[in-house]
Structure 1
Amino acid sequence: MTFKPLILVPFLATPAFAGSLDTAQPEPAPAAPVAPVAATPTYDWSGPSVGVQLGYGNLDADDPIDSEDDGALYGARAFYDYDFGNWVAGGGVQYDGADIEMGDGATLNGIGKIGGRAGYDLGRTMVYGTGGYAHAFTDDDDIDPGDSGGYYVGIGAEHFVTENVTVSGEVAYNKFDDFDDTDLEVDATTTTVGLNYRF
């Protein structure tokens, strides 16, 4: 009679042998890195802006000798707008230099404007109406008509290219009838395109 198999029983019951029979638990897989989400651009019309513009002006001078002429415009502008949600309102100043014959020996060399605008917010685009005070500056050639106050009305649109840069276009009718030469009246239609920076 032998007891050898019974000697092995205590060793088989030890934790070392019992543990060796368990299946090893797998390590959890590392979580995949989350890609950063790019911020959605915001197009807010509130705040100041400055810009430059180029354009074209057509003048119809009503004086003893009626005349019509046209030429290039170039200038700068500064505005402040407030975005109410669907609507935008603001005001600003602008100046366009020119060299356009006005008839009867005078030349228009600039138009200054100060006024307001109100528009509809389409997101990246705003369409608006504008109007206010306009002032015509002249150079005298054969005559000296002096300068003249007047008014302007127009329509325009402005569109965001980036969050801070916009392009714009505007068509305006300008009326001047307060020259020193009381017989002189000038109607001017101006068309401009601009590049603006919004702060």
Structure 2
Amino acid sequence: MKKTFSIAALAIAAAAPSFAGNADLAPADPVVAAPAPYVAPGRDWTGGSVGAHLGYGSIDTSVNGVDGDGFLGGVHAGYDYDFGNFIVGGELEYDAADIDLNGVPGSVDSIARLKLRAGADLGNTFLYGTGGAAYAETEIAGTNVSDNGYFLGVGVEQMVRENISVGGEVLYHQFDDFDGSGDDIDATTVAARVSFKF
């Protein structure tokens, strides 16, 4: 009997360490870190820029038979702020134009724009919508005539060097009751752009 009791006691004593402290232990739940917000790889677009552009414009008016098309080009300067996945910026732009109007002795000589643009930061690419105020100067029958209007459009800008980008824009302009004449003028322009960032 003593021998049996001793063997049983030894067996319990040998098994005891494997159970010691295990009664209250449960497997810990894995710690899952909150995902970091996605930020497109590439440059920070925050900063100023200056550049030049060259394009083509098409003019239509509410006067039957009066329209025109031709080349335009100019300079732009602006500032953008990069919020991570979204960019907002402003720009001043000036185009000298060579657009003769058919049906009247006249031409569109220049268009200036005060521009807001906003869109997606895709790393080295900025895809945006734009809009703002426009100011057009024309010459009709030897008289300088000008008026204010607005424009809307879309554009894209691609970094090709550390401080140089290239891009393109399509803009639609509307000038209602141009200089009180009762005539409406709209213009569509397409332009290629190059900018230096600083």
TM-score class normalised by the smaller sequence: 0.7 to 0.9
Trace 1:38-49 onto structure 2 (pairs within 5 A): 43-49=43-49
Aligned alpha-carbon RMSD (Å): 1.7
Q: Distance in 1 between matches of 2:144 and 2:50?
A: 32
Q: List gaps (5 residues or longer) in structure 1.
A: 1-40
When normalised by structure 1's length, the TM-score is 0.74
Residue equivalent to 2:70? 71
Aligned match of 1:108:
108
Pair 105,183 (structure 1): closer, same or farther in 2 beyond 3 Å: farther
Quote the Cα distance in structure 1 between the aligned partners of 2:101 and 2:80: 34
The 3-state SS of whatever aligns with 1:91 is strand
Q: Which one is further off, 109-118 or 98-107?
A: 98-107
**AA at the equivalent of 2:96:** G
3-state DSSP of counterpart to 2:84: coil
Cα deviation for residue 68 of structure 1 reads 2.3
Aligned length: 157
Pick the structure with greater CA Rg. Answer: 1
In the TM superposition, what is the alpha-carbon distance from 1:102 to its structure 2 partner? 3.3
Task: Provide the C-alpha distance between the structure 2 equivalents of 1:53 and 1:125, rounded to a whole number of angstroms.
Answer: 18
Equivalent AA in structure 1 for residue 156 of structure 2: A
Deviation of the 1:162 alpha carbon: 0.8
- Name the structure 1 match of 2:162: 163
* Residue segments in structure 2 that go unaligned for 5+ positions in a row: 1-40
The 3-state SS of whatever aligns with 1:180 is helix
Q: Distance in 1 between matches of 2:48 and 2:151?
A: 22
Contact 1:112-1:136 at 8 Å conserved across structures: yes
Q: Displacement of 1:145 after TM fit?
A: 6.3
Distance in 1 between the 2:129 and 2:178 partners? 27
1:53 corresponds to which residue?
53
Could you say which residue in structure 1 is the equivalent of 2:33? none
Q: CA deviation at 1:180?
A: 2.9
Secondary structure at the aligned position of 2:143 is classed as coil
How far is 1:75 from its partner? 0.4
Determine what percentage of the aligned residue pairs are the same residue: 45
